[in-house]
Amino acid sequence: MHDSILGGRSDRQLPIGNEIFLDHVGHFVPDAAAARDALARAGFAPTPVSIQVDPRSGAPTGTGNTTAMLTRGYIEALFRTADTPLGREFDAALARHAGVHLVAFSVSDGAVAHRQLAASGFRVRPLVAMQRPVETETGAGTAAFTVARVEPDAMAEGRIQILQHHTENEVWQKRWLVHPNGTLALAGLIVAVADVEEATERFMRFTGRDAAPCASGRTVALDRGHVHVVSPEGFAALLPDVAIPRIPFIGAYGLVVASLDAMRNLFARAGLAAHAIGAAVAVRFPEELGQGAWLFAERAADFPWIRPCGHSAHEPR
């Protein structure tokens, strides 16, 4: 794979130095098996279900997951496993709507990121060590993370967090990286908010990166990936087929694929409608994954957040 797959400098899964990457997005779903089946129907190769635990006590944290691991980044479907504070936060988010409620950025040092969040004016929670069991081709393994979180009301858009990976090979196992729909990488996400300037300023402080005007809003450019912040009107202009259940709304995310033609053919067979947005293609999530949409493109430069402000092209395909 060439580093140009995401139009950036980094041909690596994990950041080094002071880099910050868009690591993964998380769907909150009511039914783990149905979500896993929906991912498979859409041409992903989901991993087996796993339950997250506190490494100190071995107790469930409150959620479990299944994932679609990509050559760069991943997609997660989360479900409730226990009546814990984290489980109750999950319940509250799911009561608003099923769909994407989690965005995770990766860094090389979670403790440093935790201190920087506090220094940037966020009310932070204690740094957390998390792990989940994984099966590898040679036997049982463990995926381990350090997670820096802010208080729930600090980022109204959802569970927005920063993490440090400790077990790259266990998380991104080569056998899970190839998908029938040809998806290669997580490129960016679209968040609809009531106040674009206010939300952009928070995402800039959260990530330590600047923003620039772009199609229908402002984009925070990371060392790998983008966060595209738009008004409800801007979101509707880009994705008129996607209803907004509430504001704020993490309503879509972008994925780089090997071939749009192959992806469209697979989705047509699966009964999932695809619509062109310029050189990208939008597909609403299956109901089992909640409300929102995928955007697919063969090049990172083809996503709508790269285009100049005000340009929109939505047509049926």
For the chain, domain boundaries:
3-176, 183-316
Q: Read off the DSSP letter of residue 138.
A: T
Domains 3-176 and 183-316 share a fold: yes
Greater pLDDT, 27 or 1 = 27
| Position 307 pLDDT exceeds 80 | no
Exposed (0-12), middle (13-18) or buried (19+): which is 138, by Cβ within 10 Å? exposed
pLDDT digits (tens, 9 = 90+) for 223-247: 999 999 999 999 999 999 999 999 9
Mean pLDDT for 175-197 is 96
Q: 3-176: CATH homologous superfamily?
A: 2,3-Dihydroxybiphenyl 1,2-Dioxygenase, domain 1 (3.10.180.10)
Alpha helices in 42-145 (DSSP H): 85-96, 110-119
Domain formed by 183-316, architecture: Roll (3.10)
pLDDT digits (tens, 9 = 90+) for 257-304: 999 999 999 999 999 999 999 999 999 999 999 999 999 999 999 998
Q: What was the pLDDT predicted at 313?
A: 39
Q: What was the pLDDT predicted at 31?
A: 96
Q: Are the C-beta atoms of residues 184 and 72 closer than 8 Å to each other?
A: yes
Distance, in Å, from the CA atom of 103 to the CA atom of 69, rounded to the nearest integer, reads 15
Q: What was the pLDDT predicted at 6?
A: 67
Q: What was the pLDDT predicted at 127?
A: 95
Beta-carbon contacts of residue 11 (< 8 Å; ≥ 6 apart): 1, 2, 3
Q: Are the C-beta atoms of residues 237 and 215 closer than 8 Å to each other?
A: no
